[in-house]
Amino acid sequence: MKKVAILVEKDFQDLEVFYPYYRLKEEGYEVIVVGTGTAQTYFGKYGIAIRVDVDAEDLQPKDYDGVIIPGGWAPDHLRIHDSVVDFVRKLSDQNKMVAAICHGGWVIASADIINGKRVTGYRAIRDDLIHAGGLFEDEEVVVDGKLITSRKPDDLPAFCKAILKALS
């Protein structure tokens, strides 16, 4: 069974966590909710709670087939933790799927994995993605190898289809 991590921290974008979480479970994937260690339960922007299965410092990249980085304000909290950034970088280095939506692009920029790659994200972080070397495209989903990016909750259907294709 393939295993995918979903990264969470306080103020995650609720839909961007739960839509892929249940979509992947529906397809038979093992989905692991990963936090930074600052809490066992995090609350989304709209107040929905999610309990963490494991802290990022306890992750072994070899055990995962991919990672999903939802948006909201959580990515700003996620990227200050070396264990999160290192996990994302190592998955990318192992040519495993890395998927970021909305402000999730902040984490892949911090992981230094987008230089020369086609990416998208929420318009407010466009300049951050470009400054990290990304080739920004304003599309609902952009796939560059195993790197998948999307802009906002409305893009979730295309985002999840791309994730499932990359994992198959």
The yes-or-no answer on residue 81 being catalytic is no
pTM value is 0.98
Range of the domain at 113: 3-167
Residues 37 and 35: their CA atoms lie apart, in Å, by 6
**Number of domains forming the structure of the chain:** 1
Residue in this structure with the two tokens 């990264």, named with its chain if needed = 7
Across-strand partners of 35? 55
- Model confidence band, residue 1 (pLDDT cutoffs 50, 70, 90): confident
Active-site position among 77, 81, 102, 160: 102
Question: Tell me, what's the pLDDT at 133?
Answer: 98
- Rounded Cα distance between 14 and 153, Å, is 9
pLDDT for residue 128: 97
Q: What 3-state DSSP class applies to 56? A: helix
Mean pLDDT of the chain: 98
Instruction: Let me know if 103 is a catalytic residue.
Output: yes
Give pLDDT tens digits for 3-25.
999 999 999 999 999 999 999 99
Q: For the chain, what percentages of helix, strand and coil (3-state, to nearest 5) are there?
A: 40, 25, 35
CATH number for the domain spanning 155: value is 3.40.50.880
